[in-house]
């Protein structure tokens, strides 16, 4: 596992500690969660859902994106 040092000012560190505590996490774990979510949101980190989408046929993927999947009454 790679290690990266992040320097926070005291107000940032306090806010992170409060946020982590509200979600019952250690501040280091909270940073990991936030970073992972943002990387996934930006498409920079592929999720398990992305891997499943890659296994679909083009027709299945098209049906899901245009709302014409099974059971929608069309």
1: confidence class by pLDDT, cuts 50, 70, 90: confident
Distances (CA, A) of 66 to 19, 41, 74: 38, 21, 12
Residue 68 is predicted with a pLDDT of 53
Question: What is the pLDDT, as a whole number, of residue 36?
Answer: 95
pTM of the model: 0.60
| Triad 46, 49, 53: Cα angle to 5° | 95
pLDDT tens digit string along 20-73? Answer: 999 999 999 999 999 999 999 999 998 777 666 666 655 555 555 555 555 555
């Amino acid at each position: 596992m790679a290690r990266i040092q992040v320097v926070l000012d005291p107000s940032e560190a306090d806010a992170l500690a409060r946020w982590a505590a509200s979600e019952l996490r250690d501040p280091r774990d909270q940073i990991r969660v936030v970073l992972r979510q943002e990387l996934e949101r930006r498409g920079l980190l592929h999720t398990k859902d992305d891997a499943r989408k890659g296994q679909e046929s083009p027709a299945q993927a098209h049906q899901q994106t245009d709302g014409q999947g099974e059971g929608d009454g069309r």
